[in-house]
Amino acid sequence: MSLHGLATPKEDNQLKQLLLGNEAIARGAYEAGVRVSSAYPGTPSTEINENVANYPEIYSEWAPNEKVAVEVALGAAVSGARSLACMKHVGLNVAADPFFTATYTGVNAGMVVVVADDPGMHSSQNEQDTRMLARASHAPVLDPSSSQECKDFLKMAYDISEEYDTPVILRVTTRIAHARTLVELEDRVERPLREYKRDIKKYVSMPANMIGRHLYVEEREKKLAEAANTLPINKIEWADTKVGVVTTGAAYNYVKEAMPTASVLKLGLAYPMPRKLIEEFASKVETLYVIEDMEPFYEDTIKAWGIKCSGKDLTGVQGELFMHKIANKFNGEEPVGPMNTQGIPARPPVLCPGCPHRGLYHVLGKLKLTVCSDIGCYTLGALPPLSGVDTCVCMGASIGMAHGMEKARGHEQAKKTVAVLGDSTFCHSGLTGLLNMAYNRAVGTVIVADNSITGMTGHQNNPANGKDIHGDPTVALDIVKLCDAMGIKHVRIVDPFDLKELEKVVREETERDELSVIISRRPCALIVKQPGIPYVSDPDKCRNCGMCLKIGCPAIRKTETGVAIDPTQCVGCGLCQQLCHFGALHTEA
Amino acid sequence: MYNIVIVGVGGQGTLLASKILGQLAMNNGYDVRVSEVHGMSQRGGSVVTYVRISNDQPLYSSIVEQGQADIVLAFENLEALRALPYLKKDGTIVINTQEILPMPVITGATAYPADCLARVEAEAKTVEINAVEIAHECGTYRAANVVLMGVVAKKLPFSVEEWHKAIEQCVKPKFLEINLNAFDRGYSYND
């Protein structure tokens, strides 16, 4: 696909375009006059800021993490510019600290945080529902159902943000963020910078100031909840009144197809909820269902208001909703699926041919180490045949958890344990954990799997690779000097394709009664422009011992007469050759 | 209305196929819903893209569910078998006859079903084509996705000119000629 490339949408007098939800959000930011956008990549949110970067009118950047992104957006908004921060759902946990107080300080110009949830966990570690955090932080949250709504709701979010002086969340889910639907384009409306004035009582979050702000937050929320009753994005679509459905987001789309005769109340503003509107709707239908992805967010509140309804008792909380599920649970139709996959081998994701992480996991496995890993492509080292990961929890947790194991179980445990995390994850949340280890006299080994890119999310630059969001040169974090500044004495750089050297280095560093950092450095196989010459197997020499199969390379297959290497997949990394005792693997050249 | 499911292995170019289809439908005044997969499964895992186009009824959902697909376009044999339940009773499955071994087969935990295509043929109208070979003849095996578009084109109500236009809008100019050629080879494929 890289050969073709995906041509960027052509602007020439095409007012309608087929855009991803995420592209539509970027377009919305452009049209809304946004001036500053900061984000950390995370599926399913990444394409928002990637596309924002195509608009020269907006300053855009990759931040090292979501907390920084929200702080940047808040600073920009307080100083008078419309701003945007984007992240996946778990990113909001990282950014929760500034965000939960930003709702108190309020903004000046509009500020929107786009948060992408992942029901069904297509590419995430949990199924948390951003609406719950929005309510906990008293932030309004909008929930679109199509790309057009992504754009329209984002623009409305800026208006709400400015009218109610609060950051606003635009929450999307995977099926909205990664669906292409038709979008009508409009022009950008430039917004002059708003005046910035020092306002200590508002922007300095000391207790005495924030007591007043908290009262303001309560008042504001009541006002918006009242206004929500007549907000056009909260709308009733009357049909048969036997069944009424309160719904939102992607679930709305499935309800419209699964229950075409039902009356529907679509909540575009997910929080605060319009009580009068819901009560009016509920009073006019015989049976009320609440159909929403993830948590019973509406349902619990509607029940608390004394209105009889059901929803999650029929579907449960785990997994995505879809049309057939709704037709079955709420419309009494025969169940369809799940799809029969019997006798069909699964195809889990794998480390790519030529992936530098493969050599690293091979060595860690050979040395039988406990591996506290982290979030990134290298989490795939947990899958067979490498099966080389003990833990993976959240960005940066590898370091903290390895340290915790050492403090709980002593130095001998530390010598059998390593923390593994990528360069981007290290910049995101690894630095403070490493500082904690250095500061608290840790014994341990931290391995930075430095492939010079943020890989899993589709190759974004990061503070360690010397390129900004546009690919232009900038400073690169020098991890060696950083470790030196932290007082870490042992820092080694090693090529993960040199298995002998890598093994030697890992042995030496794990045996130490001190803290070590190993930088396992080689660029991601997908960003190397010139793949090497594919390897072939010599049938006369191959004894079919299976040694080369242990590294789980998708280009190598076992046949009855020996292994065979797929020349369309092999990139000539040579790792397999290092494992072969019989000299059977070589390049044709 | 047409529901199309495109399945393959991460990295095979399924996204370009759905992009061309979506562009084509939009150019012809259809409503369009395309659902793509990004992130983890793109790393060599099974990938599924849904394309829904309609000029006669409103579309809401962006996904095609079991038993709803008019066409399944499979870039790989095993993925064809996996995607079979998507197909409507009278639907057609177009298969690029390529085998890519999944990791559980490589490790020996399980075997690649030898009767993959036979099982598909027994259940559905099937068009089989070695699109990789044809694409290679056109200049690059990477154009296999556009060869397959040519095969699918015969099942959809759009002219060759309209297909060419959509391809032109979706691929970089320097690869246009190879891709148009690849499309024509697929279109003239005798199934």
With 90 as the cut, is the pLDDT of residue A92 above it?
yes
Partners of residue A179 in chain B, C-beta under 8 Å: 33-36, 62
> How would residue B99 be classed by pLDDT, with cut points 50, 70 and 90?
very high
Decide if A1 and B81 are in contact by the 8 Å CB cutoff: no
Task: Quote the pLDDT of residue A173.
Answer: 98
Structure tokens at A573: 């990394």
The helix (H) or strand (E) run that includes residue A163 is helix A147-164
> How would residue B191 be classed by pLDDT, with cut points 50, 70 and 90?
low
Partners of residue A350 in chain B, C-beta under 8 Å: 43-45, 103
Decide if B43 and A380 are in contact by the 8 Å CB cutoff: yes
Decide if B169 and A10 are in contact by the 8 Å CB cutoff: yes
Decide if B103 and A1 are in contact by the 8 Å CB cutoff: no
Q: Which residue has the tokens 């072939």?
A: A536
What three-state secondary structure class fits A113?
Answer: strand
Q: Quick one: which of A360, A5, A386, A525 has its CA closest to B43? A: A525
Bridge partner residues of A516 (DSSP)? A445, A490
Predicted TM-score of the model (pTM): 0.96
Residue B101 near residue A559 (C-beta atoms within 8 A): no
Decide if A4 and B63 are in contact by the 8 Å CB cutoff: no
Structure tokens at B23: 């562009």
Alpha carbon of A3: minimum distance to chain B alpha carbons (Å): 7
Residue A369: what residue type? L
Q: Tens digits of per-residue pLDDT, A146-192?
A: 999 999 999 999 999 999 999 999 999 999 999 999 999 999 999 99
With 70 as the cut, is the pLDDT of residue A210 above it?
yes
> How would residue A397 be classed by pLDDT, with cut points 50, 70 and 90?
very high
Bridge partner residues of A142 (DSSP)? A170, A269
Q: Which range in A342-351, A556-565, B159-168 is most confidently predicted, on average pLDDT?
A: B159-168
Alpha carbon of A322: minimum distance to chain B alpha carbons (Å): 8
Structure tokens at A120: 């069904």
Task: Quote the pLDDT of residue A2.
Answer: 31
Task: Quote the pLDDT of residue A1.
Answer: 29
Task: Quote the pLDDT of residue A11.
Answer: 46
Structure tokens at B62: 């962006």
Residue A544 near residue A563 (C-beta atoms within 8 A): yes
Q: Is A496 exposed, middle or buried (0-12, 13-18, 19+ CB in 10 A)?
A: buried
Task: Quote the pLDDT of residue A14.
Answer: 64
**C-alpha dihedral over B174, B146, A44, A329, to 10 degrees?**
160
With 70 as the cut, is the pLDDT of residue A88 above it?
yes
- Report which DSSP code applies to A454: B
Q: How many Å apart are CA A272 and CA A275, to the nearest integer?
A: 9
How confident is the prediction for chain A on average, in pLDDT?
Answer: 95
Partners of residue B13 in chain A, C-beta under 8 Å: 1, 4
> How would residue A15 be classed by pLDDT, with cut points 50, 70 and 90?
confident
Q: Is some CB atom of chain B closer than 8 A to the CB atom of A337?
A: yes
Partners of residue A549 in chain B, C-beta under 8 Å: 106-108
Alpha carbon of B190: minimum distance to chain A alpha carbons (Å): 26
Residue B49 near residue B14 (C-beta atoms within 8 A): yes
Of B58, B82, B106, the CB nearest to A344: B82
> How would residue A6 be classed by pLDDT, with cut points 50, 70 and 90?
very low
Residues 6 or more apart whose CB falls under 8 angstroms from that of B60 comprise A145, A252, A253, A254, A256, A257, B33
> How would residue A13 be classed by pLDDT, with cut points 50, 70 and 90?
very low
Decide if A549 and B45 are in contact by the 8 Å CB cutoff: no
Alpha carbon of B155: minimum distance to chain A alpha carbons (Å): 22
Q: To probe the interface with B, which of A118, A252, A344, A457 has the most B CB atoms within 10 Å?
A: A344
Alpha carbon of A561: minimum distance to chain B alpha carbons (Å): 15
> How would residue B143 be classed by pLDDT, with cut points 50, 70 and 90?
very high
Q: Which residue has the tokens 């064809």?
A: B80
With 70 as the cut, is the pLDDT of residue A356 above it?
yes
Residue B185: what residue type? R
Mean pLDDT, range A110-124, rounded to an integer:
96
Nearest-10 crossing angle of helices B176-187, B160-170:
150
Task: Quote the pLDDT of residue A541.
Answer: 96
Q: How many Å apart are CA A235 and CA A229, to the nearest integer?
A: 9
Task: Quote the pLDDT of residue A343.
Answer: 85
Task: Quote the pLDDT of residue A588.
Answer: 75
Mean pLDDT, range A500-523, rounded to an integer:
97
Q: For chain B, what's the residue count?
A: 191
With 60 as the cut, is the pLDDT of residue A539 above it?
yes
Task: Quote the pLDDT of residue B39.
Answer: 67
Task: Quote the pLDDT of residue A12.
Answer: 43
Among chain A residues, the shortest Cα distance to B106 is held by A557
Q: Is some CB atom of chain B closer than 8 A to the CB atom of A214?
A: no
Decide if B103 and A377 are in contact by the 8 Å CB cutoff: no
> How would residue B107 be classed by pLDDT, with cut points 50, 70 and 90?
confident
Q: How many Å apart are CA A295 and CA B99, to the nearest integer?
A: 41
With 50 as the cut, is the pLDDT of residue A8 above it?
no
The helix (H) or strand (E) run that includes residue A228 is helix A207-228
Q: Quick one: which of B52, B64, B63 has its CA closest to B25? A: B52
Q: Is some CB atom of chain B closer than 8 A to the CB atom of A122?
A: yes
Q: Which residue has the tokens 């297959």?
A: A557
Judged by phi (left if over 0) then psi (alpha if -120 to 50, else beta), residue B112 lies in beta
- Report which DSSP code applies to A429: I
Q: Is some CB atom of chain B closer than 8 A to the CB atom of A182?
A: yes
Classify the complex by whether its ipTM is higher than 0.85, answering yes or no: yes
Mean pLDDT, range A237-247, rounded to an integer:
98
Bridge partner residues of A490 (DSSP)? A516
Q: Distance from first CA to last CA of chain A, Å, rounded?
A: 27
Partners of residue B141 in chain A, C-beta under 8 Å: 568
Q: How many Å apart are CA A321 and CA A561, to the nearest integer?
A: 48
Decide if A178 and B33 are in contact by the 8 Å CB cutoff: no
Q: For chain A, how are helix, strand and coil distributed in percent, rounded to 5?
A: 40, 20, 40
Q: Is some CB atom of chain B closer than 8 A to the CB atom of A459?
A: no
A-B contacts (CB, under 8 Å): 195
Q: Is some CB atom of chain B closer than 8 A to the CB atom of A549?
A: yes
Determine how many CB atoms are found less than 10 A away from the CB of residue A530: 6
Residue A277: what residue type? L
Task: Quote the pLDDT of residue B10.
Answer: 84
Decide if B41 and A43 are in contact by the 8 Å CB cutoff: no
Q: Quick one: which of B83, B85, B96 has its CA closest to B141? A: B96
Alpha carbon of B150: minimum distance to chain A alpha carbons (Å): 17
Decide if B175 and A456 are in contact by the 8 Å CB cutoff: no
> How would residue A5 be classed by pLDDT, with cut points 50, 70 and 90?
very low
- Minimum mean pLDDT among A265-269, A334-338, A536-540: which range? A334-338
Decide if A180 and B22 are in contact by the 8 Å CB cutoff: yes
Q: Is some CB atom of chain B closer than 8 A to the CB atom of A246?
A: no
Q: Tens digits of per-residue pLDDT, B108-133?
A: 889 999 999 999 999 999 999 999 99
Q: Tens digits of per-residue pLDDT, A401-452?
A: 999 999 999 999 999 999 999 999 999 999 999 999 999 999 999 999 999 9
Decide if A344 and B35 are in contact by the 8 Å CB cutoff: no
With 50 as the cut, is the pLDDT of residue A3 above it?
no
Name the residue with higher pLDDT: B94 or B37.
Answer: B94
Torsional sign, CA B33, B38, B41, B43: positive
Structure tokens at A18: 């087929």
Among chain B residues, the shortest Cα distance to A342 is held by B82
Q: How many Å apart are CA A153 and CA A51, to the nearest integer?
A: 18
Among chain B residues, the shortest Cα distance to A343 is held by B113
The helix (H) or strand (E) run that includes residue A252 is helix A249-258
Partners of residue A264 in chain B, C-beta under 8 Å: none
Mean pLDDT, range B69-93, rounded to an integer:
97
